[in-house]
Chains A and B, each alone.
Chain A
Amino acid sequence: MNDDMLKYGLFADAPDLVETLPALGRLRKATPGYIAQAEQAQRVARTFAREEMLPRVLDIDTRCSKDPQYVDWDLWRKANDLKLNIAAVPVRLGGLGWSALDNAVLVEELSSVCIASAANITFNTFGLLGALVECKTGIVLRIIRMMTEAQQKGEPLFWSWAITEPSAGTDAEDGEAMATMKPSTSARKVPGGYRLNGTKCFITNGSLAHYVIATIPMDPDHPRESMATFFIPASSEGFSVGRVERKCGQKASQTAEIFFNEVFVPEDNLWEPPGRGLRHTREILSITRGYIGLCGAAIARGALDHCIQFAHRKKVGGGRLLDQGWVQFAISDMMKDIMAVRAACYNFALSLDTYHVWSLFEKLPIKASLKVLPGEMILGDAVLELARKAPVSKAGTWYKGGVVTDELVEKFVKEGSALKVAGTDLAVRVSSRVLDIVGLEGMAYGHGMEKYFRDAKVTQIYEGSNQANRIDLFHNTIGALR
């Protein structure tokens, strides 16, 4: 930051969450603590993004170009110290207790600087989200304890969500596609558990993961009917990591092949029984697609924020590049798209807090438990042992199933799919267009803008290709009317 910079967006002095999303101002009157925490989240996340990430993301990108397995552990530790990697865990249990809205703020601010480094920090939520789908109490508490203990010790704990297989990416995210996919992975029942075989590819953090949550069919000829979800420690015998891919962008986020060779998984680590694997995936997608849409808007915002500063500094014909009419129209055009998509994504985050899994934390039994019982007790051995017992575990599944119904999941998949397409298409469009404004000079690596363009493209592909998201949107709306 220097004095000549325009105080805007990433470079603004004060948090601007409510200023840029005025509807939150109205909400503040009803729930002041909720909005105050979101503003605090923005303060923390923006400061971290600007002070810690921004100065080093180009260096990280360069290092990862040479060595795809490079990780900036110093940056990760700083995020860990702030508990940004366990932000969604309730305060009483050692986390920040951040709502879906707060997590949206976190995702947006970090992704506006570097979506890849943001992924290394925020993807940890997958562990918790994955466990919360079936909501077996023993599993949920165990995962939270693992996360908080690792955070307190300053030790990395990475989770991977392994869906994609060679020549089968989107296929595993949609019922119709899954029915006809030809999976390379398979599981078979053995005494005490299951044996897993096959290959998953393009797995985010696959090379760093301590635990993998994988969907694998029991019967590869009938994948939809037999798809199950397994929880697999990376230390399991027979589990191995293949190559870490050389990608166009998002280089700080490792993407790897993983192999299962007769990997044994005990019965307890079957998170979703055969036939429920797709449902598990759909519930995760019902949350993450909306966030990826916001990541897209954040890439667009970050690229545009940089472009505006460049156009402000660049002198042309006695004025600034920013003074040129065509530049002003182009910037306004991009701003209006970003504003619209961003507002829609935050509306989605508010809906997650109101109706989806985050709403559990507001339900009386859970809220009361978290208020009354000490965290050490909730995550202690005795409670964990109790929570593992079948009746308690089933009660968790039953209670959560009443809140997050199949119908609700598909409704959020629909909303999330629309936002995912809107946000990620915007990311590619804006990150390309800003380069047209700043020209060859501004495109040079050191200005940091071309990286947004390289990072953006894959957002249209992962979390279901944008084509698959469009299919989901149609099938969950017009298609459902037949």
Chain B
Amino acid sequence: MTRCRQPVLEKTIMNSQELNGILKECRTFARKEIRDQALEADLAPSPDMVDAVWSKSVQLDIPSLLLPEAQGGAGYPAFCGALVLDTLASECAGVASVFAHHFAACIPLACNGSDRARETAARFAAPGVKAAAVVFPAPLNDQNPAISEKNGTLVLAGVTEPVANTDSAGLFCVFAQDPVRPDGITCLLLEQDRVASCLGDPAHLPGLKVNPFRTLQFQDLEIRSHEILGERGDGAGLLAETHAAYYGFVAAMALGAVRTALQKALDYAAQRYQYGSTIIHHQEIQRMLGSMQLKIHMGTSGYVQMFSGPALSLPHATPDPRLTKSFCTDMAMEVILDAIQIHGGYGYMHEYGLEKIMRDVKVLQLLGGSNPHHHVQVIAEQLNERGRS
């Protein structure tokens, strides 16, 4: 595994007025286009709902948010993407996850200066284009897709862990292991028709249901030279950049989702009467709500710092993105469990929307690798680096 690095995209801190303007538009968009459909879509996931939201999001330039301006994109940094995802996830983390995986697939296009990247980015910045999917090597998967040479041609073989956006993606950004060099990674851009026959059955995860996850099973898929982004085996840096942003996106979605849960808990506690008063006056409920606020605030600070740390150049301001994701998603799980608890039986019923958030957050905890394993990995890699130096 290549160690995550800070996204180099965050060279400057964005103008807050501009940022707030974007988020305000996104909030309005999410309320209008996502809120009323989120629960129904969770019960009966349909690509139509996602397609409709995606199409309308083009008017706000959300799909091209992270693509370079030179190629027709909006040219915003990954941090902006994270805040947009936080906003979308406050209405439905499943819908937000479609954009998150698309954004992650855009990072290599924005970072890599090759003609292929520019050409693809320009195509993806055009209206009407489909979302993209991203495939990372999974930490605990012995069958991660790998490139090899057979009879003089390059082929891709392996089985991925469940991958998002598989049903809607027009392009698959695949980070494949490549023995061409030690720890070699090659970034591949595969069009949807090349991947269609490799899609496995839906994983039926408990959350993010509007975004069905599937494994990809590559059986010696022939790789064409133009599908390789950059140099063969040279994609480790690109993977690290993409991974780092991706973990920030996941963190942001988890916190966005439970921001709504906290608000619902506050509202419910203010109207539920028990023991002679509304329960918001009960000290134990106040403790729970205060703790929930703390977790959301600290988690938000964590991912904001992760993205803006490099620009600030402060000491101790650059947490490993995996740890940021781990902290934020774990905090989000604690928040949603308490939010449901405050609601009592209503919190467990689908129509109140809270149990959906719990299922969504559970999947977010596992995206990109499980949190306890991240903790192990981060320290193990630090030890390796220390050994090398």
Contact = CB atoms under 8 A, between A and B. Distances in A.
Interface in A413-468: 428, 432, 435-437, 439-441, 443-446, 450, 453-454, 457-458, 460-462, 465-467
B317 interface: no
A439 B345 contact: no
B350 interface: yes
Interface residues of B, number: 45
B21 interface: no
B359 A458 contact: no
Contact of B162 (A169, A440, A450): A440
B372 A461 contact: no
B275 A247 contact: no
A441 B162 contact: yes
Given A170-B274, A462-B345, A444 B340 contact: no
B273 A167 contact: yes
Given A450-B205, A454-B206, A439 B371 contact: no
A202 interface: yes
Contact of B203 (A201, A315, A444, A454): A444
Contacts, number: 130
A72 interface: no
Interface stretch (B51-59, B103-111, B136-144, B236-244): B136-144
B276 interface: yes
Contact of B204 (A177, A249, A446): A446
B347 interface: yes
B206 A458 contact: no
A255 to B, nearest CB: 8
B93 interface: no
B370 A461 contact: no
Given A177-B275, A461-B341, A437 B370 contact: yes
A249 B375 CA distance: 30
B141 A441 contact: yes
B344 A169 contact: yes
Interface residues of A, number: 51
Contacts of B355: 247-248, 454, 457
Interface in A289-344: 314-317, 321, 325-326, 330
A151 interface: no
A445 B206 contact: yes
Contacts of A181: 274
Nearest to B355: A248
Contact of B272 (A167, A201, A246, A461): A167
B43 interface: yes
A182 interface: yes
5 contacts: A167-B272, A176-B275, A182-B273, A326-B375, A465-B344
Interface of B: 43, 138, 140-142, 161-162, 203-206, 213, 215, 272-276, 284, 333, 337, 340-341, 344-345, 347-351, 355, 358-359, 362-363, 365-367, 369-373, 375-376
A-B residue pairs, 9 tightest by C-beta: A445-B204, A248-B355, A444-B203, A246-B350, A180-B276, A450-B206, A202-B345, A436-B370, A458-B348
Given A180-B273, A247-B355, 9 more contacts: A171-B274, A177-B275, A248-B358, A439-B370, A439-B373, A441-B203, A457-B355, A460-B341, A467-B341
